[in-house]
């Protein structure tokens, strides 16, 4: 087994998730993969602003991380390029598995969706931690993967590495998902939880921004767009929907005042931004809205960065709950998907 040809990984996108994944490959993840008997090698990395590098025999990952941490170009490591663009990289970089980790434009799902499609067309397995491709183009990408005999996995698209998609696909066989509800946007969860503790909406937002939880431009979180994209991803993946985020009826938390939060709390209730999916005839409807929930509800348990409850035909309600989500948990989603591909490379 030790002499098996290493599986070649190409990373398009080398920000916090890509770098964390690479760092763990040098430690924990590498040990786990070796124990499974499948050596892997990162053969190509494309960054947003520091060039790209490829080496069919494997890049020096430690050196790539060092260069990236210093803001220096990776091109000194290149033995396979140069590449004219990220798309060119995705089309030509030496690889068996493409990991799509670029910054996402949440309004369009790009460039991730294009990269995934290009990778699949080349016959690469593709893993992404981006919700865009799943929310905007899943049916097309699934059929591309089938046609090319490869797999497209995306566990990191929602709730980091907590099994949302895989829970249904691998642990609830034969079941029909009738609907779901979830608190999937950790920024609004944290802001509302801090408002319960007496902070103003503005102070809670600034705190979340300072902690790196909220973006500099927080509108995608606050107005429910991020949650809508995640809701679409779930509906498309586990309910067979063909939705895009613009079809989601959506409101955000902007209308929730400190007074609303205080009055709710006095009555034993808490606000959360809730994503719901349900079947409506042959279609699936997804909605996003701030809801006032009883304090005991699964969706408002403290110390939770993400939770989704599936309503099913044969099992009633099944919930999956994630304590803390962060870069390490998203990096784990990539490992989990990679192991699944190494163990079962045939499309399902």
Of 89 and 332, the one with the shorter C-beta distance to a second copy is 332
Judged by the rule CB under 8 A, the positions of this chain that interact with a second copy are 28-29, 32-33, 36, 160-163, 166-167, 170-175, 294-298, 300-304, 309, 313-324, 328-329, 332, 335-336, 339-340, 343
Q: Which long-range contacts (CB under 8 A, 24 or more apart) does 33-36 make?
A: 33/338, 33/339, 33/342, 36/339, 36/342, 36/343
Of the pair 228, 233, the CB lying nearest a second copy is at: 233
What's the CA gap between 322 and 189, in Å, rounded?
13
Residue with tokens 């205080």: 262
CB of 325 to a second copy, least distance (A): 8
- Within a 10 A sphere around the Cβ of 163, how many other Cβ atoms? 16
Helix (H, G, I), strand (E, B) or coil at 317: strand
Q: What is the closest distance, in whole angstroms, from the C-beta atom of residue 36 to a second copy in the complex?
A: 8
Instruction: Give the nearest distance from C-beta 332 to a second copy in angstroms.
Output: 5
Which of 61, 140, 126, 144 minimizes the C-alpha distance to 337? Answer: 126
Question: From residue 166, how far is each of 81, 156, 201 by CA, in Å?
Answer: 35, 11, 35
Here the tokens at position 107 are 């309004």
Q: Which of 70, 91, 131, 230 is the catalytic position?
A: 230
Closest approach of a second copy to the CB of residue 209, in Å: 23
Cβ proximity to a second copy, 259 vs 346, nearer residue: 346
Q: State which residue, 54 or 300, has the beta carbon closest to a second copy.
A: 300
Asked about 91 being catalytic, the answer comes back as no
Q: Hey, which residues are catalytic here?
A: 230
């Amino acid at each position: 087994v030790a002499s098996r040809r290493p599986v070649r990984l190409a990373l398009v996108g080398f920000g916090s998730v890509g770098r964390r994944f690479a760092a763990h490959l040098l430690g924990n993840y590498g040990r786990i993969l070796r124990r499974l008997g499948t050596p892997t090698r990162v053969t190509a990395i494309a960054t947003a602003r520091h060039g790209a590098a490829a080496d069919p025999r494997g890049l020096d990952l430690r050196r790539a991380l060092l260069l990236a941490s210093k803001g220096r170009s990776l091109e000194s490591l290149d033995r396979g390029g140069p590449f004219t663009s990220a798309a060119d990289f995705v089309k030509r970089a030496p690889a068996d598995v493409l990991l799509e980790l670029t910054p996402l434009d949440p309004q369009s799902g790009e460039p991730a969706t294009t990269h995934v499609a290009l990778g699949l067309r080349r016959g690469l397995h593709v893993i992404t931690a981006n919700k865009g491709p799943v929310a905007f183009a899943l049916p097309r990408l699934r059929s591309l993967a089938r046609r090319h005999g490869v797999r497209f996995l995306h566990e990191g698209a929602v709730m980091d590495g907590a099994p949302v998609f895989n829970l249904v696909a691998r642990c609830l066989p034969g079941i029909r998902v009738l609907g779901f509800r979830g608190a999937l946007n950790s920024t609004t969860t944290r802001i509302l939880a801090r408002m319960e503790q007496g902070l103003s909406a503005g102070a809670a937002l600034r705190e979340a921004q300072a902690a790196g939880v909220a973006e500099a431009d927080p509108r995608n979180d606050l107005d429910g767009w991020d949650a809508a994209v995640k809701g679409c991803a779930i509906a498309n993946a586990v309910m067979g929907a063909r939705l895009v985020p613009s079809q989601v009826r959506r409101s955000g938390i902007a209308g929730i005042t400190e007074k609303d939060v205080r009055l709710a709390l006095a009555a034993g209730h808490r606000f959360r931004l809730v994503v719901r999916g349900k079947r409506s005839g042959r279609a699936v409807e997804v909605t996003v809205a701030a809801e006032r929930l009883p304090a005991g509800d699964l969706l408002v348990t403290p110390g939770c960065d993400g939770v989704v409850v599936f309503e099913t035909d044969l099992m009633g309600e099944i919930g999956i709950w994630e304590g803390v989500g962060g870069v390490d948990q998203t990096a784990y989603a990539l490992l989990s998907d990679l192991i699944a591909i190494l163990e079962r490379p045939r499309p399902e």
